[in-house]
Amino acid sequence: MKVSVIGATGYAGAELLRILSNHPEVEVAAITSESHTGTSIADLFPHLAGFYDKKLTSMNDLNQFADSQAVFIGLPHGHAMAIGRPLAEQGIKVIDLGADYRFRNESIYEAWYKVEHTHRNSGAVYGLTELYRQQIKAASIVGNAGCYTTASILALAPLAKAHLIDTKNIVVDAKSGVSGAGRGLSLNVHMAEMSENLKAYNVGGHRHTPEIEQALAEISGQESLISFTPHLIPMSRGILSTCYATLQEGIKPEDVDQAFYEMYGQEFFVRLLGRGGYPAVKNTRGSNFCDLGWHIDSRTNRVIVVSAIDNLVKGAAGQAVQNLNVMFGFDEGSGLKQVALYP
């Protein structure tokens, strides 16, 4: 089948092309970029040479997508809706790697992203594959889960679903490589600023906060409230999310173990390191895996879950392909069964 990629020159877009080059069921039709229209993708990303000889086009030519059964959108928030609506109206399935289709309640999106939502009631499904697989199968539009959110929700979902924790008293401390900030020039991610440095940002106000709360509330049936603090660390890719939650009265360590194995025991892309396990981002680099380990602090009656992913793969492009596979009935691991890069 043919697919197209809108916004192919961001980090997530380039990673998507890398993954799709190994997908046995997919042929890439059109690739677009408004800032590099007419340029060969291999000239911008030499690592794709020999796999793609296409030139980038403008997304405004809708005719180029007519033969595509699905289109990936890798645009900044606020831009996917304008192209997503006409694509959906043509019967083309849409997978948005940005935030425009992630929220059930569009007013929450508008409050946090300060942009009017122009494609209301689209019927979009939240694209965190392990939690929403059945809905994704029938979806026409999927709002791919964010990177911090994927790591954090997968860490907390088993506990929320089994009602083992207080969902209104959760702390998430997450650290990301600088590719999560995108390819745009910024003083904050210059080498001299980030080398040998570690810093928090958007404390108490990061836009992934309501996304995590939405998923945990849906899976638990209870209100969810989190304190989320993101950090930038001096590496190119990877996320380590450490999540703290207070256990309900009478919960035993074995109950926590059971919740994780019941939810993820059969999941290929979620690897359980078990109680006492320590996930590390290097073990997921370049792969679609999420590694989870958990610890019980009996002194404070807290459970601490550590989650590691590659922010550009499981946190973006890989999960988008995983969602594509579910939508079209392919093997869920098609194009995605790469071993992590090590060291």
Domain span(s) for CATH 3.30.360.10 in the chain: 148-311
Sheet holding 199-200, edge to edge: 199-200, 226-233, 165-177, 239-247, 302-309, 290-297, 270-275
Which listed residue (136, 147, 226, 259) is catalytic?
147
- The stretches in the chain having pLDDT less than 50 are none
pLDDT for the residue 188: 83
249: Cβ–Cβ under 8 A, 6 or more apart, which residues?
none
Residue 290 is a catalytic residue: no
* HEC string for 111-176: HHHCCCCCCCCCCCEEECHHHHHHHHHCCCEEEECCHHHHHHHHHHHHHHHCCCEEEEEEEEEEEE
pLDDT in tens, 16-38: 999 999 999 999 999 999 999 99
Q: Regarding the domain with residue range 148-311, which homologous superfamily does it belong to in the CATH classification?
A: Dihydrodipicolinate Reductase; domain 2 (3.30.360.10)
Q: How far apart are CA 91 and CA 326, in angstroms?
A: 17
Q: How far apart are CA 84 and CA 41, in angstroms?
A: 23
pLDDT for the residue 106: 96
The kind and range of the H/E element at 20 are: helix 11-20
**Residue type at 42?**
A
Q: Quick one: how far is CA 164 from the chain centroid?
A: 25
Q: Domain 2-123 is of which CATH architecture? A: 3-Layer(aba) Sandwich (3.40)
